[in-house]
Each structure stands twice: as C-alpha cells, then as structure tokens.
C-alpha cells in the first residue's frame, strides 16, 4: 500500500506543462548530484534508504554514527501502534510503516509483536474517535471492557477505564533498527561517513537535514522557535525472580490516556526490565549540553505509579535509566518540507515522542517529495508550524 496524501495528488494533477518542465529540470539537478542526508536517526536513514532504492546517489552522514546514544532514535525500544484518535493520516502512515518494518525485519530481530494496549475512560472522545478510525482504516483491534480480568497484573481503580487492544502492534528495537537500516543503505551503494556538516553556508548540492533536536540549532532563523527539544526520562525495573507476568508473552506494550501523567511502557523485553515513562513535554534542553542523569523526583514519580498500577513491581529494582529528548513541532505534526529560500534543501523532523514508528513511511514521503518534486502535505509543511506549543497529536 503506497501512501500519497490527497493534497499531493490534487496539486500534481493540476500541474501545467511549464511546471512539468521545471520538474524535469529539477529532477535532473537532483539525480546529477549525490543527495546528502545529514542525520542518521530513524527519519534520516529511512529517507536515505528509499532514495537509494530508487536509484539516487546518496551520501549519509552523522556526527556520531547511526543510532548513537544522544540521538532521539538511540534508545532501546519504541512502540508501534495504529491508534491516533481522528487523525487517520497517522493511522495510515503507521499501517504503511508496519508493512515496511515487517518486510525489513525478515531475518532480523528488530520487531517484537507484543500487541499494544490503549487505555482510556469510556467518556473520552479521543479514544472513541480512535476506535472509529481504526475500524474505518481496517486495523485489527478489539475493545476490552474489563482490563484487570484480562491482565490481572494491573490494578485499575477507575471503573470507567477500558482498553483498545491492537494485536498487530508491538515493540521496535530502536537503536538496532536504525543501525540495520543504515547498513542496508550502505549495502545498496550509499556512501557513509561520520562527519559534521554545517548549515551556514547552505550546501550547493541537494541536501536533506534530518537532525532531530539539532535542527533548531542548525536553522535558528527558521526553526529556532518552531521545534522544541525537551528533556524526557525513562526507567526500567526488574520484575521479581521467576515472575513471568511482565514478559512479552504475557503483557503487551501499553499507553494510558486515562491518566493525565501520560504513562506508557513496554514489557520486560530481553530481560532489560519493565519500561516506564511519561509522555509529556519536559523542560527545554540543548541536546549538546543536556545532563543525562535522571532526577530523584522523576524516579519517585515512576515508583509511585508502579505502586498504583502494577503492585507486584512496587519494590522492583531499578535496572536501567535513560535521559533523552523529544523534538516536537508546535502541534506534534511532522516537518517534511523544503527550505523556504533554497531549492534542493529539505528539512525533515519534529518526530520525537511518536515519530519513530512512522519512520519508514516518512522516509518514503520525503524521498517522493525530493525525487518527484512533489509539494508536502499541508499537515507536514513548514508554513503550518507555529511558535507556540499547542499539542494536537498523541
């Protein structure tokens, strides 16, 4: 299933002969040069992968290497789910990405189909819209009215809380996946190097900047007030000895929309520990100077939540922590667009918090925009990115 936004189809159909000539000239310019992709995170490597598979000459560079520990894609695991309230564009992007992740995973250990549980209150319109959108898109899911009966590991205090369970969703091994996509891109003939590339002055050849939380630093005039890097803490807790109820065979990936703290997590994958974090925007950070040690307050909040929701883990040992970052746009919509002043420069970002799962489809859209000179979908355009945060995508 290929994803082409309706707005792209409409604008492409309206193109006149002069525009087609410009398009051919532009494509000739693109194909006559190496396309440099700066940033080997999830969005960057999948963009490079699609470009190279289409036959374009590609040069992929990163300052520290694919999936490095400071990148937003450098963690151990990420959830892939299709539920997005009424935002069918993201449901379908996730569906396409799941196809590509599944194909790419063949012979690799990058995806664990744990299923994904979405928890919400019965009076929540966003969750009701999720069920409608999943049904409309043909996503396999079921409604679970009694969560504690289905998964007795949980204690649910609010009787209004129910579940939407997607059996085909699960966990992606993020750092490994990014490195594997980068390696496959190189195998297909892309050049790769660990290097620093500045945006001032802008390069002459076609260049994709997919630099995550570094985008506002590279383009301060354009993105300095439109992409917001924030601090995020993640915790892993060891289940008791012999306790199998929190293994991936017994418990799914999950996200709780009924709790204003935004908790989400993953089962005890590869015995790394039960993952817990809170999906909300922390304080603003600089990715180069961020103190990556967790705070006592963050750990205390995580332990308090475990005691409430997963009593068997109330005293579980802390086995691992990560302090990473989100880099969101004002609304949470992705940025997939051209530089406003320079043809041949492309900006891809704004994905942290929910973007990793979508990376294969984002790369596909970006490659199509670059190679076919297509306009971006309005949801992903630079023009729709505001300077004040008002989150609209979860």
In this prediction the pTM is 0.91
pLDDT at 29 over 60: no
Place of tokens 């007795």: 152
Residue range 220-261, pLDDT digits in tens? 999 999 999 999 999 999 999 999 999 999 999 999 999 999
pLDDT at 364 over 70: yes
Give all strands of the β-sheet with 142-144 in edge-to-edge order: 142-144, 161-166, 116-121, 253-256, 263-266, 274-278, 227-237, 318-329
pLDDT at 14 over 60: no
**What pLDDT was estimated at residue 198?**
87
Residue range 262-310, pLDDT digits in tens? 999 999 999 999 999 999 999 999 999 999 999 999 999 999 999 999 9
pLDDT at 4 over 70: no
Distance of CA 342 to the CA centre of its chain: 27
**What pLDDT was estimated at residue 21?**
32
Place of tokens 């999943």: 134
Cβ-proximal residues to 320 (8 Å cutoff; 6+ apart), any chain: 235, 236, 272, 273
Give the β-pairing of 253-256 and 227-237.
unpaired
What kind and span of H or E run contains 100?
Answer: helix 88-105
What kind and span of H or E run contains 80?
Answer: strand 77-80
**What pLDDT was estimated at residue 13?**
32
**What pLDDT was estimated at residue 391?**
87
Angstrom distance (rounded) from CA 209 to CA 222:
13
Instruction: Check if the beta carbon of residue 181 is closer than 8 Å to that of residue 45.
Output: yes
Angstrom distance (rounded) from CA 382 to CA 372:
19
pLDDT at 94 over 60: yes
**What pLDDT was estimated at residue 30?**
59
Q: 274 burial class (0-12, 13-18, 19+ CB within 10 angstroms)?
A: buried
**What pLDDT was estimated at residue 3?**
33
**What pLDDT was estimated at residue 352?**
85
Hey, which residues does 255 pair with through a beta bridge?
118, 264
- What's the mean pLDDT when you consider all of the chain? 91
Which has the closest alpha carbon to 89: 133, 135, 139? Answer: 133
* pLDDT interval class at 15 (50, 70, 90): very low
**What pLDDT was estimated at residue 28?**
60
Handedness of CA 74, 309, 291, 212 (dihedral sign): positive
Structural domain boundaries of the chain? 6-384
Q: 18 burial class (0-12, 13-18, 19+ CB within 10 angstroms)?
A: exposed
CATH architecture, domain defined by 6-384: 2-Layer Sandwich (3.30)
**What pLDDT was estimated at residue 11?**
31
């Amino acid at each position: 299933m290929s994803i082409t936004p309706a707005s792209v189809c409409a604008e492409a159909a309206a193109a006149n002969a002069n525009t087609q000539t410009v398009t051919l000239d532009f494509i000739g310019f693109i194909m006559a040069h190496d396309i440099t992709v700066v940033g080997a995170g999830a969005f960057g490597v999948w963009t490079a992968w699609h470009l190279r598979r289409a036959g374009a000459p590609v040069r992929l560079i990163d300052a520290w290497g694919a999936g490095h520990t400071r990148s937003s894609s450098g963690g151990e695991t990420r959830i892939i789910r299709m539920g997005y309230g009424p935002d069918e564009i993201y449901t379908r992007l996730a569906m396409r990405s799941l196809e590509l992740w599944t194909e790419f995973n063949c012979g690799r250990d990058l995806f664990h189909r744990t299923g994904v549980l979405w928890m919400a209150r019965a009076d929540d319109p966003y969750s009701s819209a999720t069920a409608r959108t999943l049904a409309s898109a043909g996503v396999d899911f079921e409604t679970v009215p009694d969560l504690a009966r289905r998964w007795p590991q949980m204690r649910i205090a609010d009787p209004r809380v129910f579940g939407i369970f997607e059996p085909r969703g699960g966990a992606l091994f993020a750092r490994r996946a990014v490195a594997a996509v980068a390696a496959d891109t190189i195998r297909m003939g892309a050049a790769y190097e660990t290097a620093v590339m500045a945006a001032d002055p802008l390069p002459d050849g076609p260049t994709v900047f997919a630099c995550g939380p570094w985008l506002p630093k590279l383009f301060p005039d354009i993105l300095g007030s439109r992409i917001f890097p924030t601090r995020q803490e993640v915790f892993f807790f060891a289940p008791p000895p012999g306790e199998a109820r929190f293994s991936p065979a017994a418990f799914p990936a999950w996200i709780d929309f009924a709790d204003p703290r935004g908790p989400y997590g993953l089962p005890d994958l590869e015995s790394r520990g039960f993952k817990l974090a809170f999906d909300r925007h922390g304080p603003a950070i600089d990715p180069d100077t961020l103190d990556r040690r967790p705070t006592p307050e963050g750990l205390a909040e995580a332990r308090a939540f475990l005691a409430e929701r997963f009593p068997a883990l109330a005293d579980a040992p802390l086995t691992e922590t990560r302090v990473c970052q989100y880099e969101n746009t004002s609304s949470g919509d992705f940025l997939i667009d051209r530089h406003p002043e320079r043809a041949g420069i492309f900006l891809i970002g704004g994905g942290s918090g929910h973007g990793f799962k979508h990376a294969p489809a984002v790369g596909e859209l970006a490659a199509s925009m670059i190679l076919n000179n297509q306009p971006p979908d309005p949801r992903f355009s630079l023009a729709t990115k505001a300077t004040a945060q008002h989150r609209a995508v979860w």
